[in-house]
Structure 1
Amino acid sequence: MSVGGERAEHAAEGADEPGWDVDPENDSAAVVAALGHQLKLWREAAGLRPAEFGAAIGYGENLIYKVESGKRIPRPEFLDKADEALGAGGKIAAMKKDIAEARYPKKVRDLAKLEAQAVELGAYGNHNLHGLLQTEEYAQALFEMRRPAYSQDHVERLVAARMARQSIFDRSPAPAFTFVQEEITLRRPIGGRMVLRKQLERLLEVGQLRNVEIQVMPTDLEDHAGMGGRIQVLKFSDGSVVGRSDDQSTSGLVSDPKEIRILELRYGIIRAQALTPRESLAFIEKVRGDT
C-alpha cells in the first residue's frame, strides 16, 4: 500500500489513538496548549479545515481538534507530518523535544535530567529491577499491576518515559554505573516467564558493558547492610552528590554531606557483601537457564 493509501485508510478509521491525553496537573500543560495554538495558526494560514489537514497527514479530524485545543500530546511523527504538510520548514518539527518532555510526569523528567548529568550512578534495589535495567515488557507489567490501577494512557506514558531514560547508556563519555540487585528481583516472574527470561537476557547484555557493573545480593546472606531499603547515589562532574533511600525521612533527593556520607557508606558495604560482578553475571545466567 502506498503512503497516501495508508494515510487515507488511517484517516477513514478516524484515527484518534496516537499521542497522550494531557494531565491538567502537569506543569507542561501550557507547552502543549501553545503548540496547539501555533499548529492551528499554521493550518488556517494554509487554508485547510481540520478534516482536510487530518486527511493530509493520516489522522482523524477528532485528533486534530484535540491537539489544537491542547488536550492531546501528539507523537513525534505527527509533528513531522504536520511540518511537511503545512510547509513549516522545520518550525513545527522543532517542537518535538519540548513536547517529548511534556509527555512525562515532572518527577520523572527531573530524575532523567539528573541521570543525564551524572558521571557516576550507584543503585541498590530490593523490590524490583532498577528502571534503567528494565525491558519495555517488564516495565509495562510493573505499571499495569499498580493499585489503584493506572489508566492505559498513563501506563503508556510512564513506560515511554522509562525507556527514554535508558538513552543514558549511549552517552559519550559514558557514566560509570553500579547496580546491586536482590536475588528475588531476578526470580519474581513479573509479566510472566517469557518476560522474565527476556529481562534476564537484558541484564546479561548490559552487564557486559565496560562502564556497567551489576551485582547480585544472595537471599541466604546472613549479614546485610541493605535492610533499610533501596538506595541511589548520583555523582556529578563538579564533585556534588545527591542521593535517596527508602529509610530517609523525606521521599525526595538529599544533598546534605552528612546524609550523603551515610548513604555512600551503606552502599559501599552492600557492594562488598554482594557477589562480585563476574560471579553475578554467572548467577544471572544460571537463573536464566532455570526460567
Structure 2
Amino acid sequence: MSMATMRTARKFLLGREIAHMIETANVSQTEAASIIETSQSRIAGLINGAGSITVGDLERLARTLGFTDEGYNEALRELRRDNHKRGFWSTGHNRAYSEDLRLLVDLEKRADQIRQAGVELVPGLLQIEPYARAMHEDAPPVDGGPTVDDRVAARLARQEILDKPNPPAVHFVLSESCLRRMWGDEDVMRAQIEHLITLSNRKHVMLQVMPFKTQPGRRSPVGNRFTVVRVPSPGAAGPLELVYTEAEGEIRYLDDRKALAAYESAWARLTNAALRFDESREFIAKVLDEWKQ
C-alpha cells in the first residue's frame, strides 16, 4: 500500500457514504463522477477507501444526489476531515507499525466490535509486555528503523482501547496452541496466561478456547488466523465491517459481501465448536497449573 493510497477508517467510512448516496439516488458511478467532473475510476477509488475529495466536491456531490440535510452533510465533512494525515505514524513507537498494519490500528481505535481467531500466538491485544518482547527480541535490526522497544511499545499501545470509556466488545477464539507455544520462558508464559484469565473476567472481553482434543468439524477453520472489525458510522450507510487476514509476507483487508459472509460463517462454526466461556476459563486455569509445575 503506497503512501499516496494509504487507507484509513475515516476514508472507508466516507467511501461507504458515497456509495450509499449513489445507490439511493439510483445513478451510476459514471454519472456521479460527472457531477464533480472526475472519472468513474476515481469514484470507485473513493468508495474503496483510496484517494481524497475536496470539501467543495463532496458537498456538491451530496446536494446534487439529493442529500441536503445539514446534519448529514456535517457528518460527511467530519469523515473527510484529516482523514489523509500521516505525520502521526512517523514518530516514536508509531513508526513500528508497518504500512499495511496501520489501517488495522486505526480501525481498532474506532471499532465497537472486534472478533479474532488465534492460532499459535496470543493475539496482540491480549499480550503482556514480556511476551511481546520475547516475540520481537530476535528481529534483525534495521538502520534507522524501529527498535525492539518501539515494537513492544507499539504492541502495548494498541491495548489502550480495552481501557477507554465505552470500550469495544472483543471476542477471541484461541486454539490451545496459543496457550502451549512458548515465547520467552516459563515465567513469561505463566504471567501471560494469568493475564488471559484476568481479562476473561471483564464484561466486554469474551474468550473461548478450542482444545486439541475437540472435534471441530470438517468445515471449521481451526488453522486460520483472522480478525473481523466493525466500526460504527456517523452517517446513514451503516457500520463498516472489514476482515483482516495475515500470512507470511501478505496482509489483506476484505470488505466485499461474499468474503464477509464467508468469514461470518467461519466465525459461527468456530464459536459453536469451541468451549463455552466458563469452560474456557477453567481450561486456561488448568493449563496455567501445568505451567506452574
The alignment's TM-score, normalised by the length of structure 2, stands at 0.61
Distance, in Å, in 2 between the alignment partners of 1:153 and 1:231 is 25
Number of equivalenced pairs: 197
Distance, in Å, in 2 between the alignment partners of 1:102 and 1:183 is 31
Corresponding residue of 2:34: none
Corresponding residue of 1:200: 193
Corresponding residue of 2:265: 265
Distance, in Å, in 2 between the alignment partners of 1:210 and 1:241 is 23
Does the residue aligned with 2:96 lie in a helix, a strand or coil?
coil
AA partner of residue 222 (structure 1) = Q
Whether 2:209 is the aligned partner of 1:212: answer: no
AA partner of residue 237 (structure 1) = P
Whether 2:208 is the aligned partner of 1:222: answer: no
- More off after superposition, 278-287 vs 191-200: 278-287
Distance, in Å, in 2 between the alignment partners of 1:230 and 1:242 is 14
Q: CA deviation at 1:101?
A: 6.4
Distance, in Å, in 2 between the alignment partners of 1:242 and 1:129 is 21
Corresponding residue of 2:151: 158
Q: CA deviation at 1:162?
A: 0.4
- More off after superposition, 107-116 vs 265-274: 107-116
Q: CA deviation at 1:98?
A: 7.4
Quick check: 2:109–2:161 contact (8 Å CA) kept in 1? Answer: yes
Whether 2:186 is the aligned partner of 1:182: answer: no
Distance, in Å, in 2 between the alignment partners of 1:157 and 1:273 is 38
Q: CA deviation at 1:274?
A: 0.4
Distance, in Å, in 1 between the alignment partners of 2:90 and 2:121 is 31
Corresponding residue of 2:130: 137
Corresponding residue of 1:167: 160
Corresponding residue of 1:23: none
Does the residue aligned with 1:251 lie in a helix, a strand or coil?
strand
> CA 1:102–1:268 in 2, change beyond 3 Å: closer, same or farther?
same
Q: Deviations over 1:123-177 (max 9, x none)?
A: 001121100000010011111245xx34595322111100000001012212111
AA partner of residue 264 (structure 1) = E
Q: Deviations over 1:185-244 (max 9, x none)?
A: 102221010000000011011111100101100111233412451111001113220002
Distance, in Å, in 2 between the alignment partners of 1:174 and 1:102 is 21
Corresponding residue of 2:106: 113
Quick check: 1:228–1:246 contact (8 Å CA) kept in 2? Answer: no
Distance, in Å, in 2 between the alignment partners of 1:112 and 1:127 is 21
Distance, in Å, in 1 between the alignment partners of 2:201 and 2:193 is 13
The alignment's TM-score, normalised by the length of structure 1, stands at 0.62
Q: Relative contact order (alpha carbons < 8 A, sep ≥ 6): 1 or 2 greater?
A: 2
AA partner of residue 236 (structure 1) = V
Structure 1 spans left out of the alignment, 5+ residues: 1-25, 28-94
Does the residue aligned with 1:103 lie in a helix, a strand or coil?
helix
Corresponding residue of 2:96: 104
Structure 2 spans left out of the alignment, 5+ residues: 4-86, 234-238
Question: Runs of at least 4 residues of structure 1 off by over 4 A?
Answer: 95-98, 150-153
